[in-house]
Amino acid sequence: MGAWHIEVDENVCVGSGMCAALAPDRFVLEGPAASVVQGAADTDADEVLLDVADSCPASAVTVTDGESGEVLGPRP
């Protein structure tokens, strides 16, 4: 697998902190919403990122394939 892109929709995020707990090197909870750590939005493929997207109670975390743009997570 190649590179993935991760992002958090801060308008949807409820600030549960699940993403920061599962992947603290890539997500941070600042104030009422989480965000991607600076420089961590484009990363190597990592199954943990799919788990983060699946675990977000607001479905605010999206993982996409860096080449095709296909949405990989959250998974249906």
64 and 5 in contact (C-beta within 8 Å)? Answer: yes
Strand segments, DSSP code E, in the chain are 3-8, 27-30, 33-36, 42-44, 61-65, 71-73
Nearest to 2 by CA among 64, 76, 74: 64
Q: Indicate the fold that domain 3-73 takes in CATH.
A: Alpha-Beta Plaits (3.30.70)
- The structure's pTM equals 0.93
Confidence category of residue 26, pLDDT binned at 50, 70, 90: very high
Domain layout of the chain by residue ranges: 3-73
CB atoms near residue 49 (< 10 Å)? 24
In whole angstroms, what is the distance from residue 64 CA to residue 50 CA? Answer: 10
Confidence category of residue 2, pLDDT binned at 50, 70, 90: confident
